[in-house]
Amino acid sequence: MILFILNNQPYDGSDKAYNTLRLAKNLHKKNEEVKIFLMNDAVDLAREATMKPDYYDYDLVQMIKELYENGVELKVCGTCMARCGLNKNEPYFSDDVKGTMDILGDWTIKASKVLTF
């Protein structure tokens, strides 16, 4: 299992989130078990209210939703859900994405690789 942990705001001027999601999609297509955990301001990746800026080519929320719908496990830090991101207190695209530090701990123990962005 490969675990991705994202921390930064989705459209922060870098391509960290975009490249992470591209790699996650590529590995999932190669039949790797992929899990994604969002922390800090990366929680906005799972919020419908997060809009793609005009200057950006890709809708990162749509990309992560497609991964989720195609079987990639996704969790959002429960503590960060209301505290972090530009869209604080906005709903998430699924109630099932709420995560805990206990889940992250279990995933980290079981993962063959942990990649943090």
Three-state DSSP state, 101: helix
90, pLDDT greater than 90: no
| pTM to 2 decimal places | 0.94
Q: Which long-range contacts (CB under 8 A, 24 or more apart) does 24-29 make?
A: 24/67, 24/72, 25/63, 25/66, 25/67, 27/2, 28/67, 28/70, 28/71, 28/72
Instruction: Identify the CATH number of the domain defined by range 2-24+31-116.
Output: 3.40.1260.10
Residue 72: other Cβ atoms inside 10 A: 20
* pLDDT per residue as tens digits for the range 17-43: 999 999 999 999 999 999 999 999 999
Domain ranges of the chain: 2-24+31-116
Half-sphere exposure of 1 (CA within 13 A, CB side): 13
